[in-house]
Amino acid sequence: MSPIDSADLTRVGPGTVMGEFMRQYWMPAAMSSEVQADREPLRLMLLGEKLVAFRDSTGQVGILDHRCPHRCASLFLGRNEESGIRCVYHGWKFDVRGKCVEMPNVPVHQDFKDKVHAKAYRTAERNGLIWVYMGQQQDSPPPLPNIEANLIPDSEIWCLQRECNWMQALEGDIDTSHVGFLHVGMLGPDDLPEDHPMRPTVLNRAPEYEVRNAEWGSMYGGYRLNDDGLMSWRVAHFMFPFWTQTPNARFSTRAIARAWVPMDDNHSMLFDISGGVDDGNPAYNSTRANGEPLYEKFEYEPNTTDWYGRWRCRDRAHNDWGIDRQSQRDGHQYTGIANITIQDQAVTESMGAVTDHAFEHLAPTDQMIARTRRRVLMAARAWRDKGTLPPGAHEPDVFMGARAGSFLHDPQVPLDDAYRAQLEQAVRWKTPA
């Protein structure tokens, strides 16, 4: 990648190629549980902008620039009361759409509140997530994307902040060949049940790939023969603008989507959403043959109110992500890091806040990464140069064609046919709950 390519791909602030591209999409901003009616506002950092979120007396959520348009005091200090947030400096009050509804320090005959608006973005909620649209169409935003995992009632959602660029974080999800080392390098075939989705990875740690462009972004199938003669497929997706679907779940019974929302150039927030009719994602709840859990759970730092104070893991760069060298040496954990998510966190953050792409040497197993980078850059530049609408931004059902997971299939059947056959048999969720 050229330096210009790298900059266009990783910079997300206002006016940047990628930042303006992403602003055309609805994005997860917070969990619904993070803001309560008439309670304190929440600081949000999104696409390099400092914002506050609050829920008014009627339950509506507002997301505003944190600066009061009067004298720029922070509305984070504001009073959330009576269907609006009131700046504590001079009492100006704003509703969830940013309209100034009271200007109490100004004499009535000089009042000009009808001409003042705080910078505000459109919001929506669905199945436990607060969404924000930061694009130009604030009066008529596009519909929410129909991403299957977010359509499942009572889907599971968790968040985790990652201290690196959004694309760097995302690429860990679209790289299947690392699983055989980073996550299961300590296991042999007898350590997992025969029907475990990750067992074929233990049998053969060097998969081959098929990669495709898709209307929602890009997809890959990592394949290798299983010991029963069937072909093991690990199928996963990139979905515009920053979504992944990972292949560790069982394809037929679980839907997953992971949003890598850029906070700024150097920080991203993961929203992991999944649901299904099975016992949960085996990547998180698996045990060894002796019943011992494969991975430990990670612990959060207590949330604080600063711009980067939400959903941080206790194990971060400051303590080498909790690495246990004895566990690494004795083979209990290949990495010495006990949690599967923090294993990913460690390697992607260890690259630096924004990796130096000129230092890389990509391999054939990195086809999906190279394809996705190119796909994103071309789409973002097409929006900048020609005003070409980004894929899926105004077509909510585009994403319904994507389902990820692991499955076994006849080795003579090519990826596209095997994928369609699995989709036809899978449990699907197709309408918003």
Q: What is the pLDDT of residue 166?
A: 98
Q: What is the pLDDT of residue 281?
A: 81
Q: What is the pLDDT of residue 290?
A: 82
pLDDT level of residue 84 (50, 70, 90 thresholds): very high
pLDDT level of residue 282 (50, 70, 90 thresholds): confident
The pLDDT of 34-44, averaged and rounded, is 98
Of 1.25.40, 1.20.120, 3.90.380, 2.60.40, the CATH number of 148-425 is 3.90.380
pLDDT (tens digit, 9 = 90+) per residue, 145-181?
A: 999 999 998 899 999 999 999 999 999 999 989 999 9
Nearest to 433 by CA among 150, 156, 243: 150
The pLDDT of 308-317, averaged and rounded, is 97
pLDDT of 73 higher than 80: yes
SS3 172: coil
The pLDDT of 278-288, averaged and rounded, is 83
Nearest to 219 by CA among 422, 19, 405, 6: 405
Q: What is the pLDDT of residue 433?
A: 57
If one looks up domain 26-133 in CATH, what number appears? 2.102.10.10
What are the residues facing 67 on neighbouring strands?
Answer: 74
Q: Do the domains 26-133 and 148-425 sit in the same CATH topology, yes or no?
A: no
Token output for 399: 């994403």
Phi, psi of 83 (to 5 degrees): 65, 40
Q: What is the pLDDT of residue 196?
A: 84
Domain ranges of the chain: 26-133, 148-425
The pLDDT of 254-271, averaged and rounded, is 98
pLDDT (tens digit, 9 = 90+) per residue, 327-350?
A: 999 999 999 999 999 999 999 999
Place of tokens 């698996």: 286
DSSP string, 89-142: TT--EE-TT-BEEE-TTS-GGG--GGG-B--EEEEEEETTEEEEE-SS-SSSPP
Q: Are strands 267-276 and 254-264 parallel, antiparallel or unpaired?
A: antiparallel
pLDDT level of residue 19 (50, 70, 90 thresholds): very high
Separation between Cα atoms, residue 278 and residue 235, nearest integer Å: 18
pLDDT level of residue 197 (50, 70, 90 thresholds): confident
Separation between Cα atoms, residue 305 and residue 399, nearest integer Å: 34
* Cβ atoms within 10 Å, residue 269: 25
* Mean pLDDT across the chain: 95
pLDDT (tens digit, 9 = 90+) per residue, 203-220?
A: 999 999 999 999 999 999
pLDDT (tens digit, 9 = 90+) per residue, 50-65?
A: 999 999 999 999 999 9
* Burial readout 275-297 (b: 16 or more C-beta within 10 A, e: otherwise): bbeeeebbbbebeeeeeeebbee
pLDDT (tens digit, 9 = 90+) per residue, 100-155?
A: 999 999 999 999 999 999 999 999 999 999 999 999 999 999 999 999 999 998 89
Separation between Cα atoms, residue 341 and residue 23, nearest integer Å: 28
